Copies of this chain bind each other. A is one copy, B any other.
Amino acid sequence: MQCLSSSDSEVRNLKITISYSGRDLHGWQIQKNALTVQECFQNALEEVIGCVPDIKGCSRTDTGVHANMYVISMKTEHRITCERLKAALNRYLPLSIVVLDIVEESDDFHARYSCKGKRYVYKILNREVRDPFSDGYALHYRYNIDVDMLNNAAQDYVGTHDFTSFCTLDKREKGDFTRTVKSFSVWREGDFVYMSVEADGFLYNMVRIMVGTLLKIQQGKLAPDSISDIIKAENRKEAGPTAPACGLYLDQVYY
């Protein structure tokens, strides 16, 4: 049931920070016939406050993508404290979703439109054999990854560019394909290789295509210095394939 608003009640604007495992979920946005984070969250809200306020997520995420941090904004007239709302939602949410924090924000805060940037991390299991504990949580890449070489190559992503070559053509993306990448890092921790990218915004599948392009460089099918030319081409076909969703984590959302 949607929440009704009465003009004389005090409306609070809440910033809700959650984390979720996307392995068994179909991304954020509500869909018919597929379980999404938004649907689970709305169901938990209905249990706790008796109706579903209009909630805003900080971004769409695809099926199988994870979030170490994801932000929701929500206006409500309900008087439950932030601390009690957090505890109650965590009782009703599935174990794949958890509320980390709830705070009251100013009236104009919006999870998506107030966002100044995001950081994504891509996780790769880099050893010969797969790992039972990483199934659904990392891409398995069995040949040795040269992290120094890829980290150098990836510095060409940094800066303000038209990233058309790194966007799955989709009617959801309109207008400006220019984004500013603030940093890109590739590093190893034991059997895992991580790639992290921070930008003011991301096009559809942008991180996964950036990762797929780096892996094509690793395979020797693209030159290490090819990224600048791929960007200039403004052509999706010049870049590498879209890396699988399972390795991708929304890691930080900046306001």
Contacts and interface: CB of A to CB of B under 8 A. Distances in A.
Interface of A: 19-21, 66, 86, 90, 95-100, 129-133, 135, 137
Contacts of A133: 19, 21, 66, 137
Contacts of A90: 129-130
Given A86-B129, A96-B132, 4 more contacts: A66-B133, A90-B130, A98-B130, A98-B131
The 4 closest A-B pairs by CB, nearest first: A21-B132, A95-B135, A96-B132, A20-B132
Nearest to A95: B135
Contacts of A86: 129
A151 to B, nearest CB: 24
A132 B100 contact: no
Nearest to A137: B133
Contacts of A132: 19-21, 95-98
Contacts of A95: 130, 132, 135
Nearest to A136: B95
Contacts of A20: 132
24 contacts: A19-B131, A19-B132, A19-B133, A20-B132, A21-B132, A21-B133, A21-B135, A66-B133, A86-B129, A90-B129, A90-B130, A95-B130, A95-B132, A95-B135, A96-B132, A96-B135, A97-B132, A98-B129, A98-B130, A98-B131, A98-B132, A99-B129, A100-B129, A133-B137
A21 B133 CA distance: 6
A239 B139 CA distance: 43
Query: A20, A21, A132 — which one has the most chain B CB atoms within 10 A of its CB?
Result: A132
Nearest to A20: B132
A250 to B, nearest CB: 13
A93 B86 CA distance: 40
Contacts of A99: 129
Contacts of A100: 129
A53 B133 CA distance: 28
A254 to B, nearest CB: 21
A131 B20 CA distance: 8
A90 B130 CA distance: 8
